Copies of this chain bind each other. A is one copy, B any other.
């Protein structure tokens, strides 16, 4: 049972419920060796652990104890226990002494919370033919496992080697099975050899076909350097043997990489191990004491990073964290750069408004989905005859210099009916009317521009040259020319009605502005900031503009107008009959009661809650995107506003 709590791109925080309690995700599951564990990982923050059922199965003593007392007693951990099936051993040694039915039933018998079928961990770089053949075995075993399991939840592992199409195929087939968790398998060789670009392809081609309602486990990912990137690709669970394996080898983990103890003059973190010891002291200790302390440090660092990642998802600053973390190694940056190829996938899960600003931290930032989304909007909506001006300090429209703007254009324009926009990094062309809307206002970029930024702007101007005029002084900066070279000058006008209508169109889709606002609206402004606050018609409130993100919150009247003006299923979340009275009473909408919705809905959107007959029941703020609303069976999907209809 998995519930999504907050979202940022494909990343999410959530709660995974098991027979042994709830776990916050993303979660790191320390690997416990069933025979020789020396570290109490629970004491260092582990809420869930993973151990290997095959090792238990093969060792008569462990096996007997596990069958008698259960796996939780065996490894002395009270929370949820995940078990792997021995496929790691299969990948290492080529064969193992157990069949799929034996190991699945064994896991169930010893009380595993989440067990795993015996998948085939196809390594990177094998032929398509072999990878496909092994995927079919993996699929068959996952299917069989459903028959053998009685109580436990089931992992169904995505394989497919380095063939993205096979990853997608495997994931789409597994998505049809009633399993609970999806590990993404056989990626350790990619991580070990810094092939992060291929890792990104393997993960995203899997995630694209996995149901958002199930947690995904990036198998073997235990280095804190990778957590942020992995979560931004939609991974929820990690397992770490790294904490102890690296410790055996006197290596300390950090989000910037790995430190060898012998090269250390300073302890590089704020954990209790680093506060209480020097590298020299550790070097002087017994091997075992040293290993245990380093393992503790490794756990501290790893759990701190998991918490930081969860906080970043909640804050909506996950991509900023990823962009920092990916500087740890150029190949990690390579992997992140590759992510921009998946912008269409990520866009479906990306909230339209977040708590934190968009930070441009390098050319990669131009590949972020927020930019991709806005440029798509500009392509469809930029008005013919738009004068593109140099961006002043934000908020742009408050810092405009007075007087006429001289421009150059490809065709003659009517100075009195121009539209206005600003040219800036990272969002390219920002219509004046949208200059306070998230994220077009809530962003920052260095003033010293890199070439990708310059080229990004130049290309936009070139793409839209037939629709726009360009402020004269920008021509030289950008190095663009308009051969026809019409010249003119215009006064920049800020029209409130145009502004609110365009914001409505931007937020709810074309036509919303006309539907919501009559020509004679009355606008109330904040006394402090001068910004638009409330919009009325005939003394009836239509909507409020939220100060934090410049988006519109509908009143009852606004909802009625939007509902009337935009046909089904636009902006709608449709609930089943049973939940109609709850919706009318302002109760939040749970995902499982949603029977349909507008595919364009994203987390954070203002939505109309309607009945199957498209009767308006309430308004609210989406907590999930359309795809999640349709797929999830647990948790809230819409936070309903008070005052039904």
A-to-B contact residues, CB < 8 Å: 13, 45, 197, 254, 256, 259, 263-272, 274-275, 300-301, 303-304, 307-308, 310-311, 314-315, 320-321, 323-325, 327-331, 333-334, 337-338, 355, 359-363, 444-448, 450-452, 455
Chain B, Cβ-Cβ closest to A451: B451
A263 CB contacts on chain B under 8 angstroms: 315, 355
Minimum CB–CB distance for A565 against chain B, Å: 36
How far, in angstroms, from A197 to B308 measured CA to CA in the complex? 28
- Tell me if A270 and B300 are in contact (CB < 8 A): yes
- Tell me if B268 and A270 are in contact (CB < 8 A): no
- Tell me if A268 and B337 are in contact (CB < 8 A): no
9 additional contacts (CB under 8 A) given A256-B324, A450-B450, A451-B455: A45-B275, A259-B311, A264-B311, A268-B311, A269-B308, A270-B300, A320-B327, A327-B362, A362-B363
Minimum CB–CB distance for A241 against chain B, Å: 19
Chain B, Cβ-Cβ closest to A259: B311
Minimum CB–CB distance for A315 against chain B, Å: 7
> Residue A448 contacts which of B267, B327, B334, B361 (CB distance < 8 angstroms)?
B334
- Tell me if B270 and A304 are in contact (CB < 8 A): yes
What are 29 residue pairs bridging A and B, where the CB atoms are less than 8 Å apart in the complex? A254-B308, A256-B308, A265-B311, A265-B314, A266-B307, A266-B314, A267-B307, A268-B308, A269-B270, A269-B304, A270-B301, A271-B271, A272-B272, A272-B275, A275-B300, A324-B324, A324-B325, A327-B361, A327-B362, A329-B359, A330-B445, A330-B446, A331-B447, A337-B448, A362-B362, A362-B363, A363-B363, A363-B450, A451-B452
How far, in angstroms, from A271 to B197 measured CA to CA in the complex? 33
Chain B, Cβ-Cβ closest to A255: B324
A311/B266 contact (C-beta < 8 A), A444-B331, A446-B330 known: yes
- Tell me if B448 and A451 are in contact (CB < 8 A): no
How far, in angstroms, from A300 to B300 measured CA to CA in the complex? 14
Minimum CB–CB distance for A127 against chain B, Å: 23
Minimum CB–CB distance for A453 against chain B, Å: 9
Chain B, Cβ-Cβ closest to A336: B446
A323/B327 contact (C-beta < 8 A), A270-B301, A275-B272 known: yes
How far, in angstroms, from A338 to B447 measured CA to CA in the complex? 10
How far, in angstroms, from A410 to B266 measured CA to CA in the complex? 54
A268/B361 contact (C-beta < 8 A), A263-B355, A327-B320, A450-B450 known: no
How far, in angstroms, from A90 to B571 measured CA to CA in the complex? 59
How far, in angstroms, from A570 to B410 measured CA to CA in the complex? 63
How far, in angstroms, from A315 to B258 measured CA to CA in the complex? 12
Chain B, Cβ-Cβ closest to A367: B448
Minimum CB–CB distance for A313 against chain B, Å: 9
> Residue A446 contacts which of B266, B270, B333, B445 (CB distance < 8 angstroms)?
B333
Chain B, Cβ-Cβ closest to A306: B266
Lowest 4 CB-CB distances: which A-B pairs, in order? A334-B446, A270-B304, A451-B451, A266-B307
